[in-house]
Amino acid sequence: MSLLDGRVAVVTGGSSGIGRGIARGFAEHGAAAVVVADVREEPKEGGPPTHEAIEAETDASAAFVDCDVTERADLENAVDAAEAFGGVDVMVNNAGIWHGEAFLDVTEAEYQRMMDINLKGAYFGSQVAAARMVENGDGGSIINVSSIAGLFGNGDWPTYSASKGGLTTLTYSLAHGLGEHGIRVNAIHPGGVETMIGGEPEDPEAAAEGAEQFTRMVPLGRYGQPEDIAGAATFLASDLAGYVTGESLVVDGGWTSWR
């Protein structure tokens, strides 16, 4: 039997990067269907849309739903789309944004946008999915993609750190509140993942030097890949994690082990 045999998953921000890796990983490990919920269908890194790649390369069914996670109605549409495949079993709140900033320069609009996407989106994504899981009566798994910045903060990312710190404690709160319904809620905390770095740097030489400095701090000596996060998500979605809830799983190559 496959790890996710028969399960139906919804992955927000599933078109690109970590979300694409998770969606494809679920399909490769036996999920019956994956709903890719995102504001864009085409992956930022190129290649076919995630739902098309899943159906071409695996036995899973897949669908794309246009979803802005700051709109509760869009989240409802994404979870509704899972009904065509039997109903949501796994909800991955992955959609998010990141950028560095100087704390004293942050505007209200910049702050609100970060919170709306990174925290509000996960809050109501969890709410919508949990309501359906409770209604179906079969339990389920909610996975929030947080960050190592949600555990210790970073002076260069104050708003991002605040949003991910909120997501971390939201995870713990939901694990306590939803356990009686058999719903497990956990968080993954990625470190430096290569697909988050961005496009072509303005100064390739400086970028290469920065990458070398970073990887020297990582015991495994490399940036993370979406597949690394997908492996952790697959574990948390599976019966192997049947007694795991309210936990933070750090996936950073050992970067924070010295803290």
> CA-to-CA distance for 258 and 38, rounded, in angstroms?
35
Q: Closest by alpha carbon to 99, among 164, 144, 55?
A: 164
Please give the pLDDT value at position 51.
98
Q: Which residues are catalytic?
A: 147, 160, 164
> CA-to-CA distance for 215 and 161, rounded, in angstroms?
22
Range of lowest pLDDT (4-18, 20-34, 74-88, 197-211): 197-211
Q: How confident is the model at residue 27 (pLDDT cuts 50, 70, 90)?
A: very high
pLDDT at position 195 over 80: no
User: Is the model more confident about 218 or about 186?
Assistant: 186
**CATH number of the structural domain spanning residue 226:** 3.40.50.720
Please indicate, yes or no, if residue 134 is contained in any of the structural domains.
yes
Please indicate, yes or no, if residue 3 is contained in any of the structural domains.
no
Residue 159, helix vs strand vs coil: helix
User: What's the total number of domains in the chain?
Assistant: 1
Instruction: Round the average pLDDT of the chain to a whole number and report it.
Output: 93
> CA-to-CA distance for 208 and 122, rounded, in angstroms?
34
Q: Across residues 154-171, what is the average pLDDT?
A: 94
Q: Do the beta carbons of residue 248 and residue 186 sit within 8 Å?
A: yes
pLDDT at position 199 over 50: no
Q: What is the pLDDT of residues 201-247, one digit of tens each?
A: 454 565 566 677 778 888 888 989 999 999 999 999 999 999 999 99
The pair of structure tokens assigned to 16 is: 């690109």
Residue 36, helix vs strand vs coil: strand
Please indicate, yes or no, if residue 1 is contained in any of the structural domains.
no
Contacts of 215 (CB under 8 A, 6+ apart): 221, 222, 223
Residue 10, helix vs strand vs coil: strand
Phi, psi for residue 214 in degrees, rounded to 5: -65, -50
Please indicate, yes or no, if residue 258 is contained in any of the structural domains.
no
> CA-to-CA distance for 73 and 84, rounded, in angstroms?
18
Looking up tokens 């927000």, which residue turns up? Answer: 12
The pair of structure tokens assigned to 134 is: 């409770």
Q: What is the pLDDT of residues 115-154, one digit of tens each?
A: 999 999 999 999 999 999 999 999 999 999 999 999 998 8
| Residue-number span of the structural domain to which 85 is assigned | 8-253
Q: Percent of the chain having pLDDT more than 70?
A: 93
The pair of structure tokens assigned to 60 is: 């899973």
Please indicate, yes or no, if residue 115 is contained in any of the structural domains.
yes
> CA-to-CA distance for 212 and 195, rounded, in angstroms?
16
Please indicate, yes or no, if residue 213 is contained in any of the structural domains.
yes
Please indicate, yes or no, if residue 45 is contained in any of the structural domains.
yes
pLDDT at position 198 over 80: no
Q: Partners of 108 in the beta sheet?
A: none
Q: Do the beta carbons of residue 18 and residue 233 sit within 8 Å?
A: no
Q: How confident is the model at residue 193 (pLDDT cuts 50, 70, 90)?
A: confident
Please indicate, yes or no, if residue 259 is contained in any of the structural domains.
no
